[in-house]
Every structure is written in structure tokens, then in C-alpha cells.
Amino acid sequence: MRTRTSGGPPTVPLPRMPARHLPWLGPLPAFHRDPVALLRGARERVGNAFAFPLLGQDVVFVSGPEAHAEVFEADETVLSPREAYRFLKPVFGRGVAYDAATPEEMDAQIAPLRAALGSRNLDGYVRVMEAETRAQVARWPAEGEIDLLTELNRLTVAIATRCLIGEEFHRRMGPELPRLYRELESGIRFAGILSAKAPLPAFRRRDRARAALAEAIGEVIAERRRRRPPDEPAGPAADGQDMLAVLLAARTEDGRPLPDDIVTGMLIAMVFAGQHTSAVLAAWTGVLLLHHPEYVPRLRGEQEELWAPGSPLGTRALHRMELLDHCVREAERLYPPLVLLMRKALRDTVILGHHVPAGSLVMVSPAVAHRMPEVFRDPDRFDPSRYAAGRAEHRRPYSLISFGGGKHRCVGPAFAYLQVKAAWSVLLREVDLRPARSGYVPDYSTLVPGPATPCTVRYRKRPGRPS
């Protein structure tokens, strides 16, 4: 049956998810166990748009490039990312990012971040990425076993804090940083969408970690401000500046410096988002190469051709490593760091011809979208050649959506790709890896699912390779 919405064209009612629903909870047990399997199975049965209840919330799920375009390009007064992600307020802080008072204020906060992650800073960041990866490998014995995800989390925390907050903070916090960011990450649970203040142990750990990070960042900000008076005119971002320097140089519309609590929140948000998603993407890249070792000799050949021994790694070489880029993008397609992206419907709207009521939580899933056979040939297969010239399946708009899309596309994909490629450039050159277990599966206990731990791999340092 078709109906009309606000005098517009006829709409088709949303089909319901064909799954067992519990009162108020909806399909929560299956959703918590494996949301991708649940959503993918429902899509195969009822199509690219359907509705279901979850934790007392009406959810509308849509999939496919056309649906993604409608969601990501919708006006914020209709589909709001700020309202959907307010559960991140305890991590980012009051008034920061999705908790900003208005969409315009959120945009003003994000604008300086684009300068810090701009192309003129990337070469300096790559030098940090190479140095930190070499230092990490140097701490390993000649051979043994490591938890790949744990090691990559440590690595990306070190890289992100040095590049984004600065050397002082990195030295001050040292080995405490991975633990604090792990406890922050433990507070990202789907239950938080309902109530980010629920009395859960993970949420209490999150709050303590956030307070410790904020205190340490505040001390660094105070030191920087003493060295540079707040009324000193702001200039353009200098080459190699960390993000803290850019944020301290930024000014509001009326010419005032950004408040310290906003600077602190933006730094926590950027390190948190960039570090964890990069670690997960790097881990899945490694897991897939372990399962497809035929690519390793070709990747090393590409390394030898483009990165001379003894020379520093740079953005020019990384951008030319085509096979490595394709392997990373294929890992991103098969195991995107974020399996759900959300908007809150503030008004009745229409998506794919279906009426979406105000108040609905609208979801898209990169993990579902990236395995649509209508978009990607043989979608469950690891096939880096799908990105090669002449094929380029990902070129269709909104086919790959790991970093979102539209106005609120992630500000740091260039940094993330470089970080993963720099890490694997060093690792491929310095160590041989092989699986230490029969299979690696996603851990869906958080919204950023990496391989379930322990993600154990065996390694042996390659002879004659300095670390």
C-alpha cells in the first residue's frame, strides 16, 4: 500500500526486519552477537530498506549507493549526525563536536583540524610513523609471538599523540597512553546510544581515563600558552605543526582563542577516532595478508623499487605503492573499522521511496554495503585487483563508505591511509609473519571491531634488516 507524506509523492511503507524480536529489546541478542550477519541477512530477504525496534528505539536501516547518497547528503535539519552521536559526549566532552550547540559551531571546530591534517604536514607525519614503527619492532626479540592488534594499538597511539598533540604529551604520558585509550574505547558500546551515563563498569573506566587525559593535555596547553601569549596574532599553520599548535592558533569568529576545554576535547576526539580506526584497519590488513601470502613477495618487490634502503620513507613513495594501497583498501572494504554509521531523523522524510518517521534512528552499514554483489564482484573474496585502473569498482559514488560521506565525511582519511601504509612498509621490510591460529574473526563487542583478541601471530625478524 502506498501513502503520501506531507503532500509529496506516494511512499511505500517500510518492511519489518524478519527476525525474532523481544519486547523493547528488539533483536538485541542477535544484533550484539553479529550485527553485520543480522543486517546482511535481513537485506537479502526484504531489500535495501527495512525497520526494526532496538532498545526501545525505532531503527531504519538502508543500504546501497543510492540510499547512502540520500542519507549523507540530507540536510542536518532532517537527518542529524549530531543527535545520533551525542552518546560520544562523555568521550569528547561538553560542547565538543557532536555536542556543539549548533551545526555551524561544530563546523567551526572541525575547520582547523583540516589544516593540521593537510598535505603540507603529511611528510613530517610520515617520518614519525616510520620512526615509531621501527622503534616498536626494535623492542621485539628476534622471533616469537605477538598480539598483532595490541601491538598496532600501541603503535597508532604513539603516532597519533606525537603527530596530533605533540612531543611533550607523548613524553609525559608514555606507556600509560595505550591503557587510557583502551579504557576510553571500552566505553563505546551500543548501549551508550540509549544512555551514555548508564552505571556500567566500562563507562566508569571510560570516565576515569577521559579525566586523566584531559588533565595531562591541559598541562601541555598551559605550557604552550605560556610560551605563546593568547593575544599573539595567529598565522598560517607551519610545516610540521602538530594539531595542538593549529588549534591554539585558531580563532573564533569574534577573534578569541578557542577555550581550553574545547581544544582538549577536540584533541581527545581526534586521537581517539584516528588511532583506533587506524589500528583496526592495519590489523585487518595484516590478517588478510597472512591468509593470502602470495601478495607478500609482490609487495616487497614494490617496496624495493620505490623505497631505497637507508632512505627515509616519504609521502611520494607511499603514494606510488599501488599494490599496498589496493591491499589496504581491500581490507577496509572487507572489514571496515566502523560497521554502523547513523543519523537521527528530526522530521518525517523519505529514503528510497519509503516513509521514515521523525524520531527514527537511521543506520547504514559499511560492512553490509561493501559486500553487495550488485556493486562488488565476488564481494566476499579478497581481491586487491578490483581497484586497478580499468576496473575500479570503488569509483561508483558512495560504494565505499568507511569514512562516511557528504559534508560530514571524516577529516582524516589521508592521515589514516598513510599511517597504515607506513606501518606495513616497515613491517614487510623487517619481519616475516605467519598465522598462529586457524582463524581471525571480528569482535563485535564495540562499534570499532578489530580481530578478536588474542590476535596472535608468529614473527621472525628478517636478517640484515636494521630495526
Select from 106, 64, 66, 63 the least CA-distant residue to 84. Answer: 106
- The backbone region for 26, taken as left when phi is positive above 0, alpha when psi lies in -120 to 50, beta otherwise, is left
Q: Looking at the chain, how many residues does it have?
A: 467
Report which residue type is found at 366: P
3-state helix vs strand vs coil in the chain, percent to 5? 50, 10, 35
Say whether 455 counts as a known binding-site residue. no
Q: How far is Cα of residue 135 from the mean position of the Cα atoms in its chain?
A: 24
Q: What is the 3-state secondary structure (H, E, C) of 317-350?
A: HHHHCHHHHHHHHHHHHHCCCCCCEEEEECCCEE
SS3 243: helix
- In the block, which residue shows the cell 581544544? 263
Residues with Cβ < 8 Å from 458, sequence gap 6 or more? 143, 144, 145, 433, 434, 435, 436
Dig out the grid coordinates for 192 from the structure.
551508550
CA angle 345, 95, 227 (to 5 degrees): 145
Listed in sequence order, the DSSP H helices in 64-147 are: 65-72, 81-84, 89-92, 103-116, 119-138
Q: Which H or E run includes 80? A: strand 79-80
Residues with Cβ < 8 Å from 201, sequence gap 6 or more? none
The binding site for heme consists of: 410
The binding site consists of: 410
